[in-house]
Structure 1
Amino acid sequence: MSTDMSAAPQGQRLQAQRRDADRELAARDALIPGLNWVLDDELLSELLGESVRITRTRYKPHTSALVAFRRAGNGGGSYGWALTTAPEHVGKMQRRADSSQKRGGGIRLVRPSDLHGDVVVAVGPIEEDWPLRPNLRWLRGHGLGRLGALPAAARFLDPPVSVLRYNPGRRLVARVPSATLPVVVKAAVQTDGAAAGLGLRQRLESHGIPVLPELADAECAAHGISASPDWGHGDLSGAGNDSAAYRAGKALAAIHGMDAGPGADPAAEAADLERQLAATRSMIACLLPGLEAPITRLTGRLLATVGAASPHGPVLVHGDFSADQVLVDGEDVRIIDFDRVRTSDPARDLGSFAAVEDIADPSGVGPVAGGRKTAQLIDGYRAAGGHVSLARVETWAAFRLFLNSVDPFRNRVSDWPADTNWQIRRALELIA
């Protein structure tokens, strides 16, 4: 009883801290008058006249803020997006809203009141997500049939379709029924016109890597669509999956043992790492100016270390490896989401996994290869012939921690400043 009674005040305190940080950010970025309205659940709910919860934020300082929000319910109709911009871009929002209205779409512009006449917010459903709309329209009209999915409801994403993830302006993942197993469909803005992703999936399968069958064909790929049968009972982030983590380590070693093809361009790789670090540093300095000194130190150290030659590479790497990229069914595993495959240091995948595990459970973290899933992963990796440099694993864990330090803000974590601070401190510990 006492725990439940203390939970509410604690949650209220965290919400107040997030609200204060959001207001400070909005005050610093006066070029987007509506910024605070799309960062605050209560303000956005007031603006829309219904209760919503903001689930994802894409913020371009001094330019725009695009958020996904969710109402009560499970279907696509429970999700929507809201966009606010600098005043000079309001005309573009108005034209898109007018075009949507002519087509019977649902984009509309809303303003809070005469007291905030400079605040304009565009609101729409997933189907009218402007960058995603062409590929979603193709999926509904042509793709579902190619994937063996059942015809859509009157509204494309209404039940029995369920939305699993929605990143506005980027991608949508939904579970769609079929005559047999449900199909998990991903629609992305980025297309795969050369069907390189399909070719990679075939290569992985031919090498015995535990992946899911790809149901999409080249035409789907050209429209940003990929799909696989629904499989498993959650992912590796769940409790009691140590044996599955060991199997995932063996699978990762098999990926790293594949022919990487033409070697990566070291200069291009170094430039890409520098770009990612600079972009993260710039965003964190914008969100939390007080962190500029530690992130400057961290960026410098990471630049000097992640670009160093690997003693065991380069190899073909997953590029975004973490527990949620490993589906689990008992002890069986399937590796998913190969969108960021590249040639790099094998420790990059191991460090990425360790970093995300630290973020998920920051209490009592110690060495990256401590007694957790990362340790089981590394044991399986070594058993399958993989070579591990723990120093390199720590370096790449610090890299992933820093890149992910923007995510507490993007994902609307209750006290995102504290979480961002923790990730940067942890990265500095690992890279010291």
Structure 2
Amino acid sequence: MTATALDASLPALDALLDPGRLRALLGRPAKAGHLRYKPGVSVLARLESAVGIQWAAGFHPDYAGKLRESFDRAAALNAVLETLELPGTPGHQLVCGPVELDSRLYHPLRGSGLPLDRIEVLSYNSGRHLVVAFDDADAGRLVAHITDKAAKVPEPLLERLRQAGVPVLGQLNPGFLPEEPDFAGHTACYPWYGTTDLLQLARSVTAPGRGFPLPAAAGQAPSESAPQPLLLAASAGQALARLHAQPFCSGTEMAAGPQPKKLADAASELLPELRSRLQGAAERLIAALRHAGRAGFVHGGFSADRILVGADGIRIINLERCGYGAVVSDLGCFAAVELLELGSRTLTEALLDGYREAHGVAGEGVAIDPEELRAWTAAHLYARILQPFRECEPDWRIRITRRLTQIEELL
């Protein structure tokens, strides 16, 4: 149980963070995650339990009117919206229901043309995006990405990447997809590909924190006898170098940059005892990134879970945030995610071997500066500094502190 309220004006927050309280409220075990928190105003979350993946929300009574529309929509859809009174806090409620009632995704979903009665939810980030799978009579198994912003990647860009040897999936245009401008850009459909992703595959063959045995000597490409994840990571490194070699494409925007100062302020509100360390790390990171290397075309969120694995090799997905930025940022993102998810750098080393090979043989990508890579790895760790809190980990305070230490060690 939570000893003291994190936000006394919003008890729904503590309910979502405490598995025991959540179980007592729902009458079933449940795990909250992808928290969106506005102090004193609202908290939104993904809720996973025996009934499936749901949307959950709690508002301060002064802002509870924002839920009225959700209740109206639930009635219109004949959907069940659970309303849970929070004990000892009159006027405070936690509500949960189908993801279709997510206030920010409601219109994109209703206008998507998707068969909402037979979709399988693969991934859900409250208020941001929904990834579902479903069967289509003509196209077979499909995956759809629905977002509150633009979901589609320009098809000419995808075709250019394929022509350059970058393994990406092409977008499909099933007949049910909307053409209306208000909805058309919010849904993207892809063919189902493969059986896993590189992160899941790596996790299945290694213990957390131990990684894989490096193939041959450090700096050599993985051999044929190396574990499969290393070969695939090297292949991904070669593909990433080809992606980085792409010339400017009209209409492509600048990739979003890091915001360590903003994150330091947000984390300091939750853990004021770390304020000095958080601010100091943010300042050192900003200084380190002032010396960023070459800019070019970037993926914008490259990591092992964005690499699908199938019989025909790898496919790079989630290019919605691609644009122009510091190319080593993609490598730092991959390294940061591996460090957090597997506690190792072995996949990253294999990725870098493949990347260096493509750069040395074909001149694709860039020469890698170790200090720049460390700075971008720290930047992507900092971008995830609040992740333990947002994923409602019981020991989120300890995890954030450990993550801050990792960042400090890199800087």
Report the TM range for the smaller structure's normalisation.
0.7 to 0.9
The corresponding residue for 1:123 is 96
| Conserved? CA contact 1:316–1:343, under 8 Å | yes
Output the CA distance in 2 between the equivalents of 1:128 and 1:190. Answer: 17
Give the structure 2 partner of residue 245 of structure 1.
233
> In the alignment, which residue of structure 2 is the partner of 1:71?
49
1:188 pairs, out of 138, 143, 147, with 147
Distance 1:96 1:173 in 2: 21
1:214 to 2:191 alignment: no
For 1:135, the aligned partner's letter is P
- Aligned letter for 2:163? S
TM-score normalised by L of structure 2? 0.83
Q: Does residue 390 of structure 2 align to residue 410 of structure 1?
A: yes
Kept after mapping to 2: 8 A contact 1:259/1:316: yes
The 5 A counterparts of 1:261-340 are 261=249, 273=257, 276-310=259-293, 313-329=294-310, 332-340=313-321
Aligned to 2:71: 97
Contiguous gaps of at least 5 residues in structure 1? 1-18, 145-151
Q: Which has the higher helix share?
A: 1
Is the contact made by 1:57 and 1:412 (CA closer than 8 Å) also made in structure 2?
yes
Q: Are the counterparts in 1 of residues 130 and 147 from structure 2 also a CA contact under 8 Å?
A: yes
Secondary structure of the residue aligned to 2:301 is coil
Q: Could you state the TM-score of these two structures normalised by the residue count of structure 1?
A: 0.79
Q: Deviation per CA, 1:377-431: give whole Å up to 9, x if none.
A: 1111111113211111110000001111211111233422222222211111111
Give the residue type in structure 1 aligned to 2:141. P
Q: How many matched pairs? A: 373
TM-superposed CA distance for 1:102, in Å, is: 4.4
The CA deviation string for residues 193-224 of structure 1, in whole angstroms up to 9 with x for no partner, is xx653343233223221001211478467241
Cα gap change, 1:176/1:224 in structure 2, threshold over 3 Å: closer, same or farther?
A: same
The one-letter code sitting in structure 1 at the alignment partner of 2:169 is: L
- Tell me how far apart the structure 1 counterparts of residues 386 and 173 of structure 2 sit (CA, whole Å): 32
Sort the Cα spacing of 1:327 and 1:96 in 2 relative to 1 into closer, same or farther, 3 A.
Answer: closer
Amino acid at match of 1:348: S
Tell me, in whole angstroms, the C-alpha distance in 2 between the residues paired with 1:263 and 1:425.
39
Whether the 8 Å CA contact 2:127–2:148 is kept in 1: the answer is yes
CA distance in 2, matches of 1:59, 1:349: 28
Cα distance, 1:108–1:361 mapped onto 2, change above 3 Å: closer
What's the secondary structure of 2:386's corresponding residue? helix
Higher relative contact order (CA 8 A, sep 6+): 2
Task: Report what 1:258 is aligned to.
Answer: 246
AA of the residue aligned to 1:394: R
Q: Indicate whether 1:382 and 2:356 are aligned.
A: yes
| Deviation string, structure 1 residues 308-341 (Cα, Å, up to 9, x no partner) | 241xx21101111111011112681111101221
Q: Which amino acid aligns with 2:161?
A: L
SS of corresponding position for 1:165: strand
8 A Cα contact 1:106 1:128, kept in partner: no
Aligned mates of 1:321, 1:184 — CA distance in 2:
19
- Secondary structure of the corresponding residue to residue 385 of structure 2: helix
Aligned partner of 2:36: which letter? R
For 2:166 and 2:320, locate their aligned partners in 1 and report how far apart those are by CA, in whole Å: 16
Give the aligned residue type for 2:262.
Answer: A
- Contact 2:36–2:45 (Cα < 8 Å) also in 1: yes
- The 3 A distance-change label for structure 1 pair 381 and 134 is same
**1:40 partnered with 2:18:** yes
Partner of 1:167: 125
Cα offset for 1:43? 2.0
CA separation of 1:88 and 1:53: change in aligned 2, threshold 3 A: same
Q: How many angstroms does 1:286 deviate by?
A: 1.9
Q: Matches of 1:263 and 1:308 in 2, distance apart?
A: 27
Deviation at 1:233, TM superposition (A): 2.4
After superposition, the CA RMSD in angstroms is: 2.5
Residue 348 of structure 1, CA deviation:
0.6
Gaps of 5+ in 2: 203-226, 360-364
